[in-house]
Amino acid sequence: MSALVVLLVGLAAGAAFRRGGKIGTDAQHAVAFWVLNVALPALALRVMHEVRFPGSILAVVAVPYLLFAITCVLYLVFARPLRLSRESVAALVATTACANTSFVGIPMVTAFFGAGQVPIAVLVDQLGSFVLLSTVVATLVATAGEDGGRVTAREICWRMVTAPPLLALLAGLALRPVGYPAWLTEVLTQLGNTLSPLALFAIGLQLEVRAVGRWRRELTVGLAVKLLVAPALIVGGYALFGSLDDRAIQVALFEATMPPMVAGALMAARRDLATPLPSLLVGLGVPLSILTCAGWSFVLHR
């Protein structure tokens, strides 16, 4: 559980520095740049080089894609009756359609399923959430942001194929037959270890607690969909096919119950997309998920 404490400390520290005015407003962009372009690629380059694939790999990796599709459909259904703006829907999708399968997911899997199941969590994150984040979510944020009207399809495609995290993922897979020298593994590990605390610190710097009332409707919808409704639909679907006895699938489904995606929130924040909704979703969702994930763990174990 120490990893979860680190996440909460990072979030609280960012919020405290913001409130105390002891750090410049541009700091969050510098931290976000490091997280998305250095720490995340380093983690992908190391993990995808080492991970082992289970027999049920297709069913495991399908979970984050199903989560993304179901979440998007739910928001499309709710948008008109709840009078959600286009920008709010884009921010909700960017932050909650992908689960926080690495920053929070890996510590949660360790706590509730044991360290031996972490490789499954990594597969879900790297081949699922990570790919969606680097392609679909990045495209959504680019087109829905304030400069979306000036972004061409060619520019969007170029951003997708040149995104450092995606390039690192592909490089890690391509280099699997080649052994990394010990020093390189250590360097990648140390860089990857900065990911979680700095990501939550960056979110904390954007956290405006006083804005909760103004965004109450969007927060309620987003957290209900992310923590309860979408996971219930996915778990129910896998249960209908009798797949819940497979431990790898249990872990993949548990990853789907994780809180809103930190990296997605950082992407949305960099484009000033419905600010501060993305940071509020993460700031409230991470603490709440400790309770909801405990409940989902009980369901999956039973």
pLDDT digits (tens, 9 = 90+) for 11-38: 888 888 877 777 766 777 788 788 888 9
Domains of the chain, by residue range, sit at 2-301
Angle of helix 57-79 relative to helix 86-96, nearest 10 degrees, comes to 160
Q: Do residues 286 and 8 touch, judged by C-beta distance below 8 A?
A: yes
Q: Do residues 101 and 129 touch, judged by C-beta distance below 8 A?
A: yes
**28-42, 149-163, 168-182: which range is least confident on average?**
149-163
Choice between 85 and 207, residue whose per-residue pLDDT is larger: 85
The pLDDT value recorded for residue 211 is 78
pTM: 0.82
Q: What gap in Å lies between CA 233 and CA 14, rounded to an integer?
A: 34
pLDDT digits (tens, 9 = 90+) for 265-302: 888 887 888 888 998 998 899 889 889 999 999 999 97
**Maximum mean pLDDT: which of 34-43, 109-118, 176-185:** 176-185
Rounded to the nearest 10°, the torsion over CA 182, 6, 232, 253 is 10
The pLDDT value recorded for residue 156 is 67
Within a 13 Å sphere around the CA of 174, how many CA atoms are in the beta-carbon half?
Answer: 6
The pair of three-digit structure tokens given for residue 20, joined into one six-digit string: 């105390």
Tokens 């979860």 belong to 4
Residue 148's pLDDT band (cuts 50, 70, 90)? very low
Residue 250's pLDDT band (cuts 50, 70, 90)? very high
Q: What gap in Å lies between CA 243 and CA 264, rounded to an integer?
A: 29
The pLDDT value recorded for residue 126 is 83
CATH class of 2-301: mainly alpha
Q: What gap in Å lies between CA 237 and CA 251, rounded to an integer?
A: 15
